[in-house]
Amino acid sequence: MASERCQTNRRAMTRFAVLAILAHVAPCVTIAGEPRSGLVVTAHSSLQAFRVEDPPRGESSPIRLSAARGETESFQLALENRSPGVVRDIRIVVSGLTGVDARVFATSAVNVAKPGRSSGAPVGHYFDLLRPIGGEVIASGEYRPYWIDLRAASDATPGVRDGQVTVSTSAGSGVLPIRFQVRDFELPVAPTLKLAFAFTQRWMEAYYGRTLTREQIRAAQDMMLEHHLGPVPMWGSGAELFGDESRLKECLAGGMNVILVTCGGRTDEEIDRSLAALETKIALLKRSGALGRTYFFGYDEVTVNNPALIPAMRKAYQRFHERHPEIPRINTSQPDPRIKDVVDIFVVPTSLFILPMAQGKEVWWYSVGADNLASEPDFRIDFPPVAHRGFFMADWKAGVKGHLYWAVQREWPDNKEIRDKSRPENEWRPGYHNSISKVWTQANGGGNLFYPDEAGGMLATPRVKRIRDGIEDYEYLAQLRAMAQRKAGGDEKLLGIARELLNVPDDLVRLSAGWREGWHVAEMGEAACSATVHPAAIHGGKQALRMLPTPEGVHVWQEVPAIAGKTGVFSGWIKTDDLAGQARLFAEYRDAGGRVLKSLQSRPATGSQKGFVRRQVTLTEAPRSARTLRVGLSAEVESTSEDQGSPLRKAFFDDLSLQMGEDEVPLVNSGFETERLHLNLDPAALLAYRERVAECLEQCIRVAGTGGPKR
């Protein structure tokens, strides 16, 4: 770093060390005074995670951010006390940024006591709760991060402004420079990506032990809207939204772009009562001009968790469509032939999604608090921050049009016994009891994006801030696509750059067939297969294939060329869990027309097993007319009866191999190790790409003279 710059920073901060890690800026070092004599302040990107056990270390650089008008961007400060005394009276003030509003939050740490299975993150106390700054103290040898939101006003003048953030404490004060660019466009209030993040009032009230006031519910809804997350009633009556027409209209004006009307029932009478109860809501939505944002939803995950309800679901969906053909019907399932004709939009679990699903019908993604970083990034506390934000870049890459998240307050009921409601983080357990099995799920924040405050409201997390930024990243691409469709104002060179940027590069997000790489699955079994990372369900490596058998049977296979006269030996490892049925390996010789010439199955695995068992199929002497050898896996259950409260019947397959004669024949993805989704976890790569998109979008809007997206 240049000597002149170091001298300037030393004069500005006599007792501070400053770090600004912004991923698209080359880092450099600035140290002033004696690092161990007092307070050390470091500034960090919003894509930095902090644990109590890991005091920040790093280099320093000026803070540089850019945002569209009406958009919020963020950075973080970490204050580390290296003095022998207590640091108190902490104030953080942003100044000099005309047309930019600053909000400062102190962070508090939540104990993640058990590791996730695939994140690779350590256990410890993660700073995951944000509350307005005020009253914090930092003991000797400790540190605390602070989160700063910078929001460009809707009428802010475009351009670069240089300001500063001043940190003053009982230990002294210092100044950090900020450069903030306001882009010459404004993003729309309602995001292009359809967003259904479940808001559940009863979970909030279970924590507080009382009925919340109308004002408290409105404040919680507004907190979600502030982060582009419409407060969608998904698991209750929705009285907090449908019971107040003025509030519904306010949420719509605030950007809520998905409203769900839900149904249920097993018998004809129950279905008809459920549908009849929707009529008042639909009339309200019609009066409010909200039918274009309304979707019909019911029978959650029916094809996997409760296939016995498929006939009832089909009746409900058909009858609703007869009454309201203009309202799309969605279901949380991958495309399944049993329900394809009654579902308009499949909301596919990300772990089951493959690219062909988004070709043709509209498809959304469904993330459910999973912990497999290689197939569904999710928003868990111990997942890398880039995954929280980059998930929406993956939405764009996959071509999905919506994102559904099952809960934002799921952990609240299981933390209702917290004694000090003013500081819930001190006792918070990041998990919940399964609503059916009552088994404890250590979700590490999966299904929980907000925490309760003492007054009956909600407090945000760094994760929900990154979700907000990811939604805005998606919006940048959506608006750039709109400009490309308008031919970028006739500038062919600019149009070429725009079209190139609209293809998110593979070094940022890469999608593959995942466990399916090399394997075929019968259409009726698509919903029954997925990769698992559970340690007890893996024989070797990081992943195995999980199969949820059906009475019709699930079959997965691949084919290799047959060698006449050779004996084929197909072997692998199987584990079953609560399987009242059978899981096997099979092998078949087939001729050029696909006819089966010779076939054999392995000895079955069944019931529940503590470990994997090895199974083998030996097909002797391939016939001369054999062209291919098909090797595969199958599982089935013995009964069609399905008790909703019974455990899932599962089979797991791993580490397969094939030998023909004396030669080992390679199988594609024999251990199911191929990652379905790969995110580059380097913040620099994501932020640099985002800046290129922003620059191109700004130029396109300027050339076209459109003034940018309409509110």
What is the C-alpha to C-alpha distance for residues 258 and 92, in angstroms, rounded to an integer? 37
Domain extent at residue 56: 3-183
When mean pLDDT is compared across 19-28, 257-266, 327-336, 399-408, the lowest value belongs to 19-28
Alpha carbon distance 120, 298 (integer Å): 35
Within 155-308, where are the H helices?
201-208, 214-226, 239-242, 245-253, 268-276, 279-287, 302-305
Q: Which CATH number characterizes residue 684's domain?
A: 3.20.20
CATH number, domain with residue 581: 2.60.120.260
Average pLDDT score over residue span 367-392? 87
Predicted pLDDT at 377: 80
Please give the full DSSP string across 229-269, using - where no structure is assigned: --EE--SS--HHHHT-HHHHHHHHHTT---EEEEE--SSHH
Q: Any idea which of 357-371, 443-457, 562-576 has the lowest mean pLDDT? A: 357-371
Per-residue pLDDT at 89: 97
Question: pLDDT digit string (tens) for 507-517?
Answer: 999 998 889 99
CA distance 470 to 229: 12
Of 85, 71, 50, nearest to 479 (Cα)? 71
> pLDDT value at position 280?
96
In a domain, 670, yes or no: no
Is the pLDDT confidence value at 704 over 50? yes
Q: How many domains would you assign to the chain? A: 3
Predicted confidence (pLDDT) per residue in 161-217, tens digit: 999 999 999 998 999 999 999 999 999 999 999 999 999 999 999 999 999 999 999
Residue 430 lies in a domain: yes
* 710 domain-assigned: no
Strand duo 363-367 + 402-405: pairing = parallel
The answer to the question of residue 671 being in a domain is: no
Under DSSP, the state recorded for 537 is G
Q: Using CA atoms, how far apart are residues 17 and 681, in angstroms rounded to an integer? A: 27
Are both 495 and 536 inside the same structural domain? no
Average pLDDT of the segment spanning 618-641: 88
If you ran DSSP here, which 8-state letter would residue 635 be given? E
How much is the pLDDT for 710?
52
If asked whether residues 220 and 318 sit together in one domain, one would say yes
For residues 27 and 62, membership in a common domain is answered with yes
Is residue 189 a part of any domain in this protein? no
Tell me, what DSSP letter sits at residue 527? G
Write down the pLDDT at residue 58. Answer: 60
Nearest to 576 by CA among 541, 539, 551: 539
- 458 with 572, same domain: the answer is no
Same domain, 48 and 122: yes
- Looking at the fold, whether 464 and 537 belong to one and the same domain comes out as no
- Which positions ≥6 away from 462 have C-beta within 8 Å? 46, 49, 107, 127, 128, 130, 147, 385
Inform me whether the pLDDT recorded for 467 exceeds 90. yes
What does pTM read for this prediction?
0.89
Contacts of 157 (CB under 8 A, 6+ apart): 98, 99, 182
Instruction: Please give the mean pLDDT across all residues of the chain.
Output: 90
In a shared domain, residues 61 and 141: yes
Residue 57 predicted with pLDDT over 80? no
Q: Are residues 222 and 354 in the same domain?
A: yes
Whether the pLDDT of residue 6 is over 80: the answer is no
The pLDDT value given to residue 59: 59
- Percent of the chain clearing pLDDT 70 (strictly above): 92
Whether 2 has a pLDDT exceeding 90, the answer reads no
d(CA 187, CA 708): 8
Summarised one tens digit per residue, pLDDT across range 12-54 is 332 333 322 233 332 222 223 344 458 999 999 999 999 999 9
**Residue 591: pLDDT over 50:** yes
Rounded Cα gap, residues 322 and 634, in angstroms = 39
Does residue 343 lie in a domain region?
yes
> Measured between alpha carbons, how far is 305 from 548 in angstroms, rounded to an integer?
9
Q: Which of 76-90, 147-161, 519-533 has the lowest mean pLDDT?
A: 519-533
Domain end among 183, 202, 224? 183
Shared domain check, 230 and 156: no
- Identify which of 509, 399, 482 has the alpha carbon closest to the alpha carbon of residue 697: 482
Domain boundary among 151, 183, 215: 183
Q: What is the pLDDT of residue 436?
A: 76
pLDDT for position 12:
33
Same structural domain, 470 and 502: yes
Q: Are residues 533 and 645 in the same domain?
A: yes
Q: Is the dihedral of CA 242, 247, 250, 251 positive or negative?
A: negative
Strands (E), 535-672: 544-547, 554-561, 568-577, 579-590, 596-601, 605-607, 613-619, 628-637, 650-660, 663-665
Whether residue 640 has pLDDT greater than 80: no
Sign of CA dihedral 218, 220, 221, 223: positive
CB 686 within 8 A of CB 47: yes
For the chain, give the percent of residues with pLDDT over 90: 75
> Looking at the domain assignment, is residue 672 inside a domain?
no
Of the two residues 339 and 705, the one the predictor is more confident about is 339
Statement to judge: residues 102 and 228 lie in one domain = no
Encoding tokens for residue 184?
A: 């010459």
CA distance 690 to 694: 6
Evaluate whether residue 406 is within a structural domain: yes
Q: How far apart are CA 475 and CA 368, in angstroms?
A: 23
Confidence of residue 437 (pLDDT cuts 50, 70, 90): confident
Rounded-to-integer distance, Cα 318 and Cα 263, Å = 12
Strands in 143-152's sheet, in edge-to-edge order, are: 20-21, 39-45, 72-81, 143-152, 100-112, 124-132
Amino acid found at 72: T
Statement: residue 405 has pLDDT above 80:
yes
pLDDT at 644 over 60: no
At 27, which CATH number? 2.60.40.10
Q: How far apart are CA 130 and CA 459, in angstroms?
A: 6
Q: Are 208 and 201 in contact (CB under 8 A)?
A: no
What is the tens place of the pLDDT at every residue in 267-287? 999 999 999 999 999 999 999
Q: Considering 132, 151, 183, which residue would you say is the last residue of a domain?
A: 183
